[in-house]
Amino acid sequence: MNTKQISLTTQNRLIISGLILSTILIVLIAVFAIFNIQKKLNEGYQNFGQIVSKTLAIECAEFTGSPSGEILKSHADKIVEAHSDIIFIEFRDSNGKLLYRANSKAKSNSKAPNIIVNSPMITAQGINTGSVTVGLSGNIISQISTTTRASLLFVFTVAWVVFAFVILINTYLITRELRILHEGVQKISTGEFGYKIQDKDVSSEVKELFNAFNNMSNRLHIYEEQNIEQLTLERNKLEAVLMSIANGVVVCDNNDNVVLINNHAHKLLELDENQMMNIKIQDYIDTEGNYCFKDKIEEFKDTPIEVMENKPLEFNIQVDKRVIKSIISPMFTRTKEYVGYIIVLIDMTKEAEMDAMRSTFISNVSHELRTPVTVLRSYIDTLYNYGNEFDYETQKEFIGTINQEIIRLNRMVNDILDFSRMEANADMEKSLNSIYEVVDNCVNQVQALTKEHNLKIAVNKEENIPEFLFNYDGIERALTNLLSNAIKYSPDNGEIKVTLKTDGESAIITVSDQGCGIAPEHQKKIFDRFYRVENNIHTIKGTGLGLHLVKQTIEKYHKGKVFVESELGKGSTFGFTLPTKVYDESIV
């Protein structure tokens, strides 16, 4: 039951109670008046009967017991017949003997008189000659009483009706003014500022109230016009900030309904625009058909707000192979009133992939380091203990193997060190160097590796490339890395081609092999750190850092470009470009 119903019920009760009290009061007054009037009429009628009986006693005292008794009878009969309210007149002597009784013939003798009055008959000499008894029917007093009661009841009924009508009219006028005011308040509560109520045909006090209401409504309208643009601007700013945040944001009210969701959250949760608006967040289903927020929202609600305010709830969900970190935090007003919660969605897919890659990298590095260390230990131990028993060629072979393993170990350590240095954004100092010298040195360094598989390296160098600024060690390691990969994946008795040329702006170096080739889907990721191609053909182990370091060295530190061209079964061509016209601020 609302406030309006309670107010009307109380008002009706007051009106009904007033009418009942006024009715009881009027009825009591009417009964009291009728009772008093009836009493006075009865007293007057009693006096009338007494007067009649005394008059007859005086007039007829002389006729009692005389020859003139016929005169008394005649006189009594005339009086009875002449007066309709007299039933009988009875004369008795001084001894109580009935002398004469005159009855009205027009009246029923069986009807008992309503009033009986008795008066003694005394002569002028003071002699008591008897008594006169008069019986009155009371018809006149009854008619007068009935008429009087009817008149009084009519008057009091009219007065009650008028009184009730006045109360109802007054109540209607008051409630009408209240209804008008209530309607105006409802208009204001719904935001219809500036609404005015008419003050026609209202009392002066209510008119002042209406004027005050209209003044308030007008002020609210002015305030709204002045502030709505500012409020709209602030809201647009808030929405713009939320929509432009790099992370996903989902805002829910206290009933778990989504009231705001930004574009990035739509993308992360794979939702169409406004698909989750005004829908409970627990109803969201991920790509595997799981209610991924339901249990966590329940856990959030079961935890005290103070705890969640200091330590938001964090958990991960997976949407179409995308790992999303979710953080739920309570949301308060400035007065610390809890109004809902915010879910921040952070795409952790790359981080998860990197963690997996790091684990694989550590495993690979451990394996790769263990192999040369084991080989070195076994060969060195053999030479140390049994070297005198081997001929020169066997010792040379042992030392050659040890040297290759040391080179391999050194390369892996250098890759790891270079990776750490690049991750720390260490600078690479550049100086004027000859790119021809780098190519020749790198080819000479890997010649020992080519002998194992009987490979040939063909070098084609374009002339007239001037010296330019680059980091000699960095470019040497990058090219050596490409040559080492070409040697690893080339078939025995194959050929590796090294080309150096220029387009006028950059030096272009390519290394081509006749290996198994790389599938197109792997070519896009081949330069990513820790990325390795593993299949039935391409099973050579490594750290997965070599090509990533090449890319970092060329593109990040020398502003060049790396590229790969490959086809399965037909070999691969790796290469990079180095700008030859570079200004280095360190050389002035």
- Domain holding 560: CATH number? 3.30.565.10
Same domain, 440 and 294: no
Indicate the residue type of 71.
I
Q: Which of 260, 227, 264, 261 is CA-nearest to residue 245? A: 264
Same domain, 447 and 572: yes
Structural domain ending residue among the three candidates 145, 165, 185: 145
- Domain holding 137: CATH number? 3.30.450
Question: What is the per-residue pLDDT for 217?
Answer: 77
Q: CA-to-CA distance for 130 and 53, rounded, in angstroms?
A: 12
- Domain holding 310: CATH number? 3.30.450.20
Contact 487, 448 (CB under 8 A): no
Question: What is the per-residue pLDDT for 537?
Answer: 44
Is 309 within the bounds of a domain?
yes
Same domain, 329 and 396: no
Structural domain ending residue among the three candidates 123, 145, 167: 145
Same domain, 16 and 132: yes
Domain that holds residue 327: 245-347
φ, ψ for residue 513, nearest 5 deg:
-125, 175
Q: CA-to-CA distance for 282 and 271, rounded, in angstroms?
A: 15
Same domain, 329 and 409: no
Is 213 within the bounds of a domain?
no
Q: CA-to-CA distance for 207 and 213, rounded, in angstroms?
A: 10
Contact 551, 478 (CB under 8 A): no
Token couple for 112: 């008992």
Instruction: Provide the total of helices (H) and of strands (E) in the chain, helices listed first.
Output: 15, 16
Structural domain ending residue among the three candidates 111, 129, 145: 145
Question: What is the per-residue pLDDT for 108?
Answer: 47
Same domain, 413 and 558: yes
Same domain, 430 and 295: no
Question: What is the per-residue pLDDT for 437?
Answer: 92
Does residue 41 come out as left (phi exceeding 0), alpha (psi in the -120 to 50 range) or beta? alpha
pLDDT digit of tens for each residue in the chain (588 aa)? Answer: 444 444 445 666 777 777 788 778 878 887 888 788 878 877 877 787 788 778 777 777 666 555 446 767 777 777 777 777 788 888 887 787 887 787 776 554 445 667 788 888 877 777 777 888 888 877 777 777 788 778 877 887 888 888 778 877 777 777 777 777 777 777 777 777 777 776 666 666 677 777 777 788 777 777 777 666 676 777 777 777 777 777 888 888 888 888 888 888 888 888 877 777 878 888 888 777 788 888 888 888 888 888 888 888 888 888 877 888 899 989 888 788 888 898 998 888 877 777 776 666 666 666 566 667 777 778 788 877 877 778 888 888 888 778 777 877 777 777 666 666 655 555 678 889 999 999 999 988 888 778 777 889 999 998 888 899 998 888 988 898 888 888 888 888 889 999 999 888 899 999 999 888 888 877 777 877 666 665 444 444 455 667 877 888 888 878 899 999 888 888 899 999 999 876 544 443
Is 84 within the bounds of a domain?
yes
Is 337 within the bounds of a domain?
yes
Contact 147, 97 (CB under 8 A): no
Same domain, 402 and 283: no
Same domain, 136 and 274: no
Domain count, the chain: 3
φ, ψ for residue 252, nearest 5 deg:
-120, 145
Same domain, 301 and 414: no
DSSP letter for each residue of 199-248: -TT--HHHHHHHHHHHHHHHHHHHHHHHHHHHHHHHHHHHHHHHHH-SSE
Is 307 within the bounds of a domain?
yes
Same domain, 407 and 547: yes
Is 235 within the bounds of a domain?
no
What distance lies between CA 405 and its chain's CA centroid?
67
Is 514 within the bounds of a domain?
yes
Is 174 within the bounds of a domain?
no
Same domain, 17 and 141: yes
